[in-house]
Amino acid sequence: MNRPVLDNQRARRLFLDRHLLLRPTGGTGRGADLEGVLDKLGFVQVDSINTLARAHDLILWSRRGQYRPRALEHLVARDRSAFEHWTHDAAIIPMQFYPMWRLKFSREEARARERWPAWRRDGWEDEIDSVLRHISDTGPACSLDVGTDEQKTSSGWWDWHPSKTALEFLWRSGQLAICHRRGFRKFYDLADRVIPAERLHQRLDEEEIIHRAMSHALYRLGFGTSGELAAFFDIATKSEAKAWCAAQLAAGGIIEVDIELADGSRRRSFTTVETLDSAASQPDPSSRIRLLSPFDPALRDRARTERLFGFHYRIEIFVPEAKRKYGYYIFPVLQGDRLIGRLDTSRKGSTLLVRAFWPEAGVRMAKARIAGLEAELERVRAIAGVDGVAFSDDWLRA
């Protein structure tokens, strides 16, 4: 049988709709509404860089213009409807997924015990019990509260003192949980004092965890290869993902589809009959110009972004400033179902300074589009905490 084909425009629109970037925004951006956004996305990546706003805040603001950072803090620290752990990176995750993380906890623990002795300071394994006892006896603690008699000077980002490494190990392995942050500093407590009992004590076997992780990933992406589905939560291994896709394909739970890419080629992927049917009736996209975080979940797979949208995007961390085509930390700009360019901006006192905007090839910066970009920059002032927007003389680049 010939596989069904999802043309590039419909594929882009389906993908953006699953990431809440196709339709006009609405909602309060807090409480149950924010829980719904987090659930639909699956997670938001947490990042400390604050060029414009922290990654998780900009991700959520781009879906809910009324969102403010304290609302997410409440979900984690007060309502306990979300928790912090790792997907492909540090992330805030809906609490309903916590039972799936038990497999990740056990695998993270095994990986740490195997690899960390070779590249962490000696002595961290000896500190595990004392750190756990300290938190059990005295309550939540941060890295400054443990190992007070240890040398804490560091020669690098990951050069932790032994008690800090033990603290991280206990969190990665699920024995501790992040109960709140103060500023951007994490505070840890015993998992059974943080995670709601119905989630803490819910047990799933390994097969069910992999099934749930893959099914949730497929729903939130709309379509994907086995590798892309495995990478979404980073719970199933590549081989487990391939086996799951083969079994589901044989059982009729999923189907194969050819996705048309931006260059006209096709990529075989998996989806469901229901998702394929819904792709035929996607609404026209909102005309709003949206400023996205470099860590937006729709963009985290840079190769997929290039294949699907024809948008080559990398954060040039190790390239010297003089050799960069763009700045180190630039913001992708979306309009409708196209990525139309990238923006270089920074704070200058209480002003948001737009240093450069590079339109993509074929994107014409007519008056209406410039006005739309200016309107988005006015909107983003609320999350950036600035009073006004200014433009460099040569901000609009070729």
Query: What band does 157 get if pLDDT is binned at 50, 70 and 90?
Result: very low
Q: Is residue 359 part of a domain?
A: yes
Instruction: Out of 151-155, 188-192, 227-231, pick the least confident.
Output: 151-155
145-149, 204-208, 225-229, 326-330: least confident range: 326-330
Q: Are 331 and 293 in contact (CB under 8 A)?
A: yes
CATH number (domain holding residue 363):
3.40.630
* 353 pLDDT more than 90: yes
Asked whether residue 136 is domain-assigned, the answer is no
Q: Classify residue 383: in a domain, yes or no.
A: yes
CB 257 within 8 A of CB 276: yes
| 57 part of a folded domain | no
Identify the burial level of 122 via C-beta atoms within 10 angstroms of its C-beta, where 0-12 means exposed, 13-18 middle and 19 or more buried.
Answer: exposed
Q: How many structural domains are present in the chain? A: 1
Work out whether the CA dihedral 183, 184, 185, 191 comes out positive or negative: positive
Instruction: Specify the pLDDT at position 324.
Output: 72
Note the pLDDT tens digit of each residue in 255-293. Answer: 999 999 999 999 999 999 999 999 999 999 999 999 999
Cα–Cα distance measured from residue 24 to residue 220, given in angstroms and rounded to the nearest whole number: 18
Question: Which one, of 292, 322, 394, lies nearest residue 353 by Cα?
Answer: 394
Structural domain boundaries, residue 307: 289-391
* Domain assignment of residue 159, yes or no: no
Tell me the pLDDT tens digit for each residue of 136-145: 999 999 999 9
Inside any domain, residue 334: yes
Asked if residue 129 belongs to a domain, the reply is no
* 362: in domain: yes
